[in-house]
């Protein structure tokens, strides 16, 4: 499908039924697969043949959907995970081990920040966080001999900063390591990080890709461009024999295009599980079929809401890269020419109390710990996700007590604005 536009790929990539086969991707609700001879099955265990033997590692439903996501991102291989958290963990742990070091943008999702700074630290993997606005010199200074990956988010959740993907990719490549980009917020419809130099792309498919708040999931896509063998000393897991697979060397046997995902499936999925259920993969694919139709509407609503909020006296500040006043507008024009996403954050003048009252007054926008859904939802970090912090600590973390994150859904923008207007009136 590689010659078709991304719109067509959203609908049809990943699965082409044969004569008389189901039009929709079948849900292969089976833990296991049957073989005629032990020899046939043995070939699968030796990675000599491709096929399925146990759904903890691989399932045909998932692989159709992963193949679609690989095509959307312009990658060579992909896999689905049980969540976005699992996708980022697997992507990093596939090339990092005890004693490795990661350079990561400090402007990332809180869950990923904890994963890297707390859980990976317990496994002996250290991190240097850098500002997403770091200069080339500052970036280069963050690398160490044991650096194995660079990590960032195209549009950060919830800070809404835009990553200078080319700058981060150049720094990573100058130090012989890949750039991993979490592309959850823009989705490949609005940005394809591989085209700007990213090597591995991850997703929380829970967000826009699913788009209906129906299924938690994640995905990892390999660009197939990073030359592991050229940096074999840094990536022994890919470039030296795997004793747990009869001495296979992934980068030799599966090449640049296939090594990363094959190792991640054969080793990490085998040992850690965390695969997406076939049922969830099916639901995810329903979301993907309309992703190209939904994203422009999320962007349209996000921009309209951001512009409205910016014009309001009771609103101190609005963060949305699509606004000309936003510090990330220039980067957004470069990397997100069709817009980024529907998530907007803004600060109310009256702080925590005003935020609480305002959200209670909203009728269409529900209070939820979620974003990127067809229905508009909102959250005040100070009274929810960051509740343990006092106002002083919140200020230091760059999350003012009156900050509200609103994820604009697919409703009519005039209804959304009217809802916001009446709630502003009430405070
Ligand atoms: C939500 C999110 C995650 C985590 O994904 P889950 O599916 O909730 O595990 C990771 N990265 C970003 C950017 C997210 O928005």
**For range 16-45, the mean pLDDT:** 95
pLDDT given for residue 398 in this prediction: 72
Whose Cα sits closest to atom 4 in ligand 1?
84
Return the minimum-mean-pLDDT range out of 39-48, 161-170, 326-335, 337-346.
Answer: 39-48
Q: Residues enclosing ligand 1, CB less than 6 A?
A: 83-85, 109, 111-112, 153, 157, 182, 184, 204, 206-207, 216, 218
Q: How far is the CA of 246 from the centre of ligand 1 (A)?
A: 35
- Kindly report the backbone phi and psi dihedral angles of residue 362, in degrees, each rounded to the nearest multiple of 5, phi listed first: -70, 140
Tell me, in angstroms, the distance from the centre of ligand 1 to residue 185's CA: 9
How many angstroms separate the Cα of 156 from the Cα of each of 13, 153, 245, 275? 28, 5, 38, 25
CA distance 211 to 422: 27
Centre of ligand 1 to C-alpha 87, Å, is 9
pLDDT score for 391: 81
Q: What is the pLDDT of residue 245?
A: 86
Burial class (CB in 10 A: 0-12, 13-18, 19+), 204: buried
The DSSP result for 379-395, as a single string, is: E-GGGTTTTTS-HHHHH
Instruction: Give the separation between CA 116 and CA 202, rounded to whole angstroms.
Output: 15
Q: Which two tokens stand for residue 420?
A: 């916001």
Count of CB atoms within 10 A of residue 19's CB?
A: 4
Ligand 1 centroid, distance to 85 Cα (angstroms)? 6
How much is the pLDDT for 338?
A: 97
Q: Does 45 have pLDDT greater than 90? A: no
pLDDT confidence tier of residue 426, bands split at 50, 70 and 90: very high
Buried b (16+ CB within 10 A) or exposed e, 32-54: ebeeeeeeebeebeebeeeebee
pLDDT for 158 equals 87
Residue 259: the pLDDT is 98
The predicted-structure confidence for 59-111, as pLDDT tens digits, reads as follows: 999 999 999 999 999 999 999 999 999 999 999 999 999 999 999 999 999 89
| Residue 395 reports pLDDT greater than 90 | no
Predicted confidence (pLDDT) at residue 357 exceeds the cutoff of 80:
yes
Name, in order, each residue with C-beta under 8 angstroms of 271's C-beta and a sequence gap of 6 or more.
none
Residue 185 CA: nearest ligand 1 atom is 13
- Is the pLDDT at 423 greater than 80? The verdict is yes
Q: pLDDT band for position 246 (50/70/90)?
A: confident
pLDDT digits (tens, 9 = 90+) for 108-134: 998 999 999 999 999 999 999 999 999
Which has more confidence, 12 or 110?
12
Contact at 8 Å (CB) between 136 and 171?
A: yes
Confidence of residue 387 (pLDDT cuts 50, 70, 90): confident
SS3 59: coil
Reduce the DSSP state of residue 325 to 3 states and report it. Answer: coil
> Could you give the percent of the chain with pLDDT greater than 90?
89
Task: State the pLDDT at residue 82.
Answer: 98
3-state secondary structure of 333: helix
The per-residue pLDDT for 347 is: 95
Region of 112 (left: φ > 0; alpha: ψ -120 to 50; beta: rest) is alpha
Statement: residue 214 has pLDDT above 90? yes
Pocket test for ligand 1, best of 87, 112, 190 (most atoms within 8 A of CB): 112
Q: Which of 108, 109, 181, 281 to mutate to test the pocket of ligand 1 (most atoms within 8 A of CB)?
A: 109
- Pairing state between β 200-204 and 179-182: parallel
3 state SS for 135-190: CHHHHHHCCCCCEEEEEEECECCCCCCECCHHHHHHHHHHCCCCEEEECCCCHHHH
Q: How far is CA 282 from the centre of its chain?
A: 19
Per-residue model confidence (pLDDT) at position 340? 98
User: What is the bridge-based pairing of β-strands 126-130 and 101-105?
Assistant: parallel
What distances in angstroms separate CA 92 from CA 112, 231, 309, one per listed residue?
11, 17, 38
Residue nearest to atom 7 of ligand 1 (CA): 84
> Which whole-number Å values give the CA distances from 10 to 109, 229, 295, 335, 424, in the listed order?
26, 33, 12, 20, 38
Q: Tens of pLDDT along 256-291?
A: 999 999 999 999 999 999 999 999 999 999 999 999
**Residue closest by Cα to atom 8 of ligand 1:** 84
């Amino acid at each position: 499908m590689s010659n078709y536009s991304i719109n067509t790929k959203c609908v049809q990539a990943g699965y082409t039924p044969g004569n008389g086969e189901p039009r929709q991707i079948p849900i292969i609700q089976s833990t296991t697969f049957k073989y005629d001879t032990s020899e046939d099955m043995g070939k699968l265990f030796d990675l000599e043949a491709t096929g399925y033997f146990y759904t903890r590692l691989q399932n045909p439903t998932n692989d159709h959907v992963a193949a679609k996501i690989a095509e959307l991102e312009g990658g060579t291989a992909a896999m689905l995970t049980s969540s976005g958290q699992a996708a980022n963990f697997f992507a990093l742990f596939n090339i990092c081990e005890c004693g490795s070091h990661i350079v990561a943008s400090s402007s990332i999702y809180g869950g990923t920040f904890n994963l890297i700074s707390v859980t990976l630290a317990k496994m002996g993997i250290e991190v240097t966080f850098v500002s997403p606005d770091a200069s080339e010199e500052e970036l280069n200074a963050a690398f160490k001999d044991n650096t194995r990956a660079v990590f960032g988010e195209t549009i950060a959740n919830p800070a809404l900063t835009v990553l200078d993907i080319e700058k981060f990719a150049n720094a990573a490549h100058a130090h012989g390591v890949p750039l991993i980009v979490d592309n959850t917020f823009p989705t490949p419809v609005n940005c394809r990080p591989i085209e700007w130099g990213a090597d591995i792309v991850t997703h929380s498919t829970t967000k826009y890709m699913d788009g209906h708040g129906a299924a938690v999931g994640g995905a990892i896509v390999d660009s197939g461009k990073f030359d592991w063998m050229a940096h074999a000393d840094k990536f022994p897991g890919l470039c030296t024999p795997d004793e747990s697979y009869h001495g296979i060397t992934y980068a030799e046997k599966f090449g640049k295009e296939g090594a990363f995902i094959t190792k991640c499936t054969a080793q990490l999925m085998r040992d850690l599980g965390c695969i997406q259920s076939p049922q969830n993969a099916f639901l995810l694919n329903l979301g993907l079929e309309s992703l190209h139709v939904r994203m422009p509407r999320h962007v349209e609503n996000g921009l309209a809401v951001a512009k409205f909020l910016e014009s309001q006296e009771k609103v101190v500040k609005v963060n949305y890269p699509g606004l000309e006043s936003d510090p990330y507008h220039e980067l957004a024009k470069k990397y997100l020419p069709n817009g980024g996403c529907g998530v907007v954050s803004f600060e109310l003048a009256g702080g925590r109390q005003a935020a609480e009252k305002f959200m209670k007054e909203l009728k269409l926008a529900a209070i939820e710990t979620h974003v990127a859904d067809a229905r508009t939802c909102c959250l005040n970090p100070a009274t929810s996700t960051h509740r343990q912090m006092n106002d002083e600590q919140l200020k230091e973390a760059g999350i003012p007590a009156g900050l509200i994150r609103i994820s604009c859904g697919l409703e009519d923008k005039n209804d959304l604005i009217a809802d916001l207007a009446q709630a502003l009136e009430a405070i």
